[in-house]
Amino acid sequence: MRTLTKLSAASAAPDRAGEEYAGDTKGVDAKRLDKKAAQRHESAIKHVTGQAAYIDDLPAPANALHIAIGLSPLAHGRLERLDLDPVRAMPGVVDVISFHDVPGHTDIGPVFHGDPIFVENEISYAGQCLFAVAADSHDAARRAAKAAIIEIDEQPASLDPVAATEKNDLVRPTHVQQSGDWQQSLSNARHVVSGEQFIGGQEHFYLEGQACLVTPSEDEGVVVHTSNQHPSETQKLVAEVLGIPFHAVTVEVRRMGGGFGGKETQASPWACIAALIARRTQRPARLRLSRGDDMRLTGKRHPFHSRYRLGVDDDGVIQGGDMTLIGDCGYSPDLSEAIVDRAMFHADNAYSLGAARVTGHRARTHTASNTAFRGFGGPQGMMLIEQAMDDIAHRLGEDPLTIRKRNLYRHGRETTHYGQEVEQLDLLHSLIGQLESSSDYWARRAEISAYNARSPIIRRGLALTPVKFGISFTAKHLNQAGALLHVYTDGSVMINHGGTEMGQGLHTKVCQVVARELGLELSCVSISATRTDKVPNTSPTAASSGADLNGQAARDAALKLRERLFAFALETLWPQAGLKLGDLQLKGGMLMAGSGEGKYRIAWGELVQAAYIGRVSLSAQGFYSTPLIHYDREAAKGRPFYYFAYGAAVSEVAVDTLSGEYQVTRVDILHDVGDSLNPAIDIGQIEGGFIQGMGWLTSEELKWNDAGRLLSDGPATYKIPAFGDLPATFNVELLEGHPNSQASIYRSKAVGEPPFMLAISVWSALRNALASLAPDGQCPRLDTPATPERVLMAIAAMQDHGDKGPAGHPREDDAHVQA
Ligand code: MTE
Ligand code: HPA
Ligand code: MOS
């Protein structure tokens, strides 16, 4: 039976928009249920009733065109001939465009060059965009796209990122972070432990695929409706492709049906193509990728090949060593520089590495350009050190949790390999301690060991893994946000900000911030859509920073407006009262002054009216930039993160050793969101992030054939978690009593990505179950996704190797260690 998470009653209860939760709190620790904060998602009712409009739901004029993309059938080669006349001749076709039809920029690489809008000569992956066709219907466009005559001088596809790295075939230069003398720490160590792993990629599988609708506007401009995490970048790229000023392009995003990083850079190409068609034809143009095309055309989470060699003392505490990460970037840089950096920043997870060197390579392969995906490289970085923790524990014959706890950052060992001091160490230790007892870790460990000893077929495994995730964009300039606040004369409030809504509840949280600052009910505050003509030059909604940045910008706008209203009250409303600024407050829909709530009170609506008549501006702009952060990439040292978010999970699995099939039977999570902005939404993020992470590590397998063609290109061949994959027991709790030590918005913490990495506990529990079959001192290698097939292969490898050593995991002889 699924036990309900403690706070989820709050998200389920309210029945009218803006109404406070007042439901049954039986079984819920009332103290923890911050009723005011646990508001449901601003679109919750619309989501579940189908009224929330996504791009394809937007009504378009009857003359709107539909666009289909012509994809490269091969992964690498020279485009010798592209004959589009047969496409033009197909029924319903209105326009067909390719490389030479682009008036402006043809390279739409977001950060670095390397992403042609259409192939000119060189084809770099199977599925790459060759041309676009616009027709009267979606069907006609898709049929017509198939009529192209394509001749390619095929060349061998490079699909092995490790071989590419050896040949120095990289999309960006290698970066190294280093602290202390790592070689000496290896040569002096009592034990040297080493290992390798392959971590598979992940398809975003957002429910709403890539989609946009572009309408030509007056003069040379366009209005772009798009499912998009980065409207400002799309505005820039559309303008550059058309060769028009940025101000002629307006991008609007009301909501996405999921983004997960897949719409940070990779929503732009479709907007650019639709904009070209819209301007050429003077007709609105829709582009919605089919699921298969979406999976073939767009990049995914980076697969990683990683290895480590660490020196540890007799207690299993890491003294130092060497870690190497190879990210498979696909054919172009996209965001890979920052993604592999973030993997490197998280190669320590929550543990001190001592004197360590961390190297990150960005390999080029002939696949779609891999991109942002929840965690942004962080998950892949953490996987290596979590493998090491289990390897060390088995080598020394200790429980993995004991080894993890000994290696946690602690006083005296609080500096990361890139020079940032880890704060809130007590929080980290107490969080793990609390979860250890609430999950009953040690009693269950004993029970599972006894069970495994008498169970030949089914083996159970248990693991606790922590998360420490750095919050801030590592590209410093992105850590800024703007907001625009309007108060209308009826007292209703409209807030706009630079962030986008993708289901994560950002708009709800930002409205809550404004309501709180102005002392209003949440129902008084509304957000329309994110638009580049309201708040300009915005950062992507990414790096989990949406509420941190835009919440602060909205707060800044609200404070400015409040100051203006206070000044108006002191000077105009109550000039004789002898009141000071500090006497005024906005609360419960009133402006109040003086002690005892007595004399000076005015309702919000009347105040706004009076201020309007008094010619006070009722509109304010807000801005925020994150303080304290810096990173010197040359020196590979700095403080890239404003703070860290923490969490930990205990997962239990049961493996059928004859088939490799397994179940995740119980999961306990304790997660740190500081003082939560909205506990109901935060719990939803934790549950969703965990399950998405579990899918990445267990069932979601990307397969390409030897020629580089993606075989797993739809739900029939690519398995995301389904309802039945939910752990039978799933306990999720928020850590209480630890406000952010930094001055983030109301001392909350970002929640979007960190919980994703809690799922590493599932993989570690699987290894734990398999280790019960291995000779003492060994923990079998388990690459991911750890499908039943891979689990079975790991079991078979152990049986083959007998006592020669752990499967695929050569044991290093302590006596022969060379640095
Ligand atoms: N939650 C939902 N429902 N849908 C999403 O697409 N994206 C995740 C996370 N949670 C996502 C989500 C990712 S990758 C990020 S970076 C954050 O939300 C972005 O939003 P935030 O910064 O407002 O948390
Ligand atoms: N996280 C997510 N997206 C980003 C980042 C980051 O650190 N940097 C640039 N885009
Ligand atoms: Mo999230 S991967 O930073 O969009």
H or E element in which residue 763 lies? helix 760-771
Q: Which of 111, 233, 302, 478 to mutate to test the pocket of ligand 2 (most atoms within 8 A of CB)?
A: 478
Tokens at 56, concatenated: 């394809």
pLDDT at 109 exceeding the cut of 90: yes
Ligand 3, closest atom to CA 374? 2
What digits encode the pLDDT tens for the residues 548-594?
Answer: 999 999 999 999 999 999 999 999 999 998 999 999 999 999 999 97
Is 532 in contact with 251 (CB distance < 8 Å)? yes
Can you give 234-253 as a three-state secondary structure string?
A: HHHHHHHHHCCCHHHEEEEE
pLDDT of residue 598: 63
Report the relative pairing of strands 662-671 and 643-656 from DSSP bridges: antiparallel
Point out the ligand nearest to the CA of residue 502. 1
In the chain, what's the furthest Cα-to-Cα distance?
92
pLDDT of residue 351: 98
Q: Which of 540, 683, 604 is nearest to 39 (CA)?
A: 683
Exposed/middle/buried for residue 61 (C-beta within 10 Å: 0-12, 13-18, 19+):
exposed
Cβ–ligand 2 distance for 629 under 6 Å, the answer no
Q: Which of 275, 207, 183, 205 is nearest to 238 (CA)?
A: 275
Point out the ligand nearest to the CA of residue 510. 1
Give the span between the Cα atoms of 390 and 412, in whole angstroms: 24
pLDDT at 25 exceeding the cut of 50: no
Domain 57-156+210-288 has CATH 3.90.1170.50: yes
Q: Which of 744, 637, 661 is nearest to 345 (CA)?
A: 637
pLDDT of residue 5: 45
Considering the candidates 597, 736, 753, 789, report the single residue annotated as catalytic.
753
> Which protein residue's CA is at the shortest distance from atom 7 of ligand 2?
473
3-state secondary structure of 444: helix
Cβ–ligand 3 distance for 204 under 6 Å, the answer no
pLDDT of residue 468: 99
Distance 375 CA to ligand 3 centre (A): 6
Task: Provide the residue type at 784 as one letter.
Answer: T
3-state secondary structure of 498: coil
> Which protein residue's CA is at the shortest distance from atom 2 of ligand 2?
543
Q: Which of 228, 230, 497, 544 to mutate to test the pocket of ligand 1 (most atoms within 8 A of CB)?
A: 544
What sign does the CA torsion over 164, 806, 785, 444 have? Answer: negative
Residue whose tokens read 């990210």: 327
CA distances from 101 to 98, 104, 596, 608 (A): 6, 9, 72, 53
pLDDT of residue 596: 61
pLDDT of residue 276: 98
Q: Which of 96, 115, 94 is nearest to 106 (CA)?
A: 115
What band does 801 get if pLDDT is binned at 50, 70 and 90?
low
Is 677 in contact with 551 (CB distance < 8 Å)? yes
What digits encode the pLDDT tens for the residues 201-242?
Answer: 999 999 999 999 999 999 999 999 999 999 999 999 999 999
What digits encode the pLDDT tens for the residues 594-611?
Answer: 766 567 999 999 999 999
Is 362 in contact with 337 (CB distance < 8 Å)? yes
∠ CA 750-755-758, rounded to 5°: 150
Ligand 2, closest atom to CA 473? 7
What digits encode the pLDDT tens for the residues 771-790?
Answer: 999 998 899 999 999 999 99
Residue ranges of the chain that CATH labels 3.30.365.10 = 304-474+634-801, 480-625
pLDDT of residue 281: 98
Distance 716 CA to ligand 3 centre (A): 26
Distance 227 CA to ligand 1 centre (A): 13
Is 519 in contact with 590 (CB distance < 8 Å)? yes
Q: Structure pTM?
A: 0.94
- CATH topology for 304-474+634-801 is Aldehyde Oxidoreductase; domain 4 (3.30.365)
Q: Which residues contact 573 (CB under 8 A, 6 or more apart)?
A: 602, 607, 610
Cβ–ligand 2 distance for 111 under 6 Å, the answer no
pLDDT at 29 exceeding the cut of 90: no
Give the span between the Cα atoms of 317 and 311, in whole angstroms: 8
Report the relative pairing of strands 304-312 and 129-135 from DSSP bridges: unpaired
pLDDT of residue 799: 84
- CATH topology for 480-625 is Aldehyde Oxidoreductase; domain 4 (3.30.365)
Region 262-276 average pLDDT: 98
Region 636-645 average pLDDT: 98
Q: Which of 4, 12, 199 is nearest to 726 (CA)?
A: 4
Eight-state DSSP code of residue 747: G
Q: Which of 68, 76, 185, 63 is nearest to 126 (CA)?
A: 76
**Total residue length of the chain:** 819
Per-chain mean pLDDT for the chain = 94
Tokens at 552, concatenated: 């602060």
What digits encode the pLDDT tens for the residues 682-738?
Answer: 999 999 999 999 999 999 999 999 999 999 999 999 999 999 999 999 999 999 999
Distance 204 CA to ligand 2 centre (A): 16
3-state secondary structure of 604: helix
Active site residue 753: yes
Eight-state DSSP code of residue 413: B
Ligand 1, closest atom to CA 543? 16
What sign does the CA torsion over 301, 306, 311, 315 have? Answer: positive
pLDDT of residue 642: 98
pLDDT of residue 26: 37
Tally DSSP H helices, then E strands, for the chain.
Answer: 20, 29
Rounded percentage of the chain residues whose pLDDT exceeds 70? 93
Region 301-324 average pLDDT: 98
3-state secondary structure of 397: coil
Is 505 in contact with 548 (CB distance < 8 Å)? no
Distance 500 CA to ligand 1 centre (A): 9
What digits encode the pLDDT tens for the residues 372-406?
Answer: 999 999 999 999 999 999 999 999 999 999 999 99
Is 362 in contact with 333 (CB distance < 8 Å)? yes
CA distances from 819 to 185, 186, 474 (A): 9, 6, 32
Eight-state DSSP code of residue 116: B
pLDDT of residue 816: 36
Alpha helices in 182-334 (DSSP H): 182-187, 231-242, 268-281, 291-297
> Which protein residue's CA is at the shortest distance from atom 9 of ligand 1?
752
pLDDT at 807 exceeding the cut of 50: no
Residue ranges of the chain that CATH labels 3.90.1170.50 = 57-156+210-288
What digits encode the pLDDT tens for the residues 39-91?
Answer: 999 999 999 999 999 999 999 889 999 999 999 999 999 999 999 999 999 99
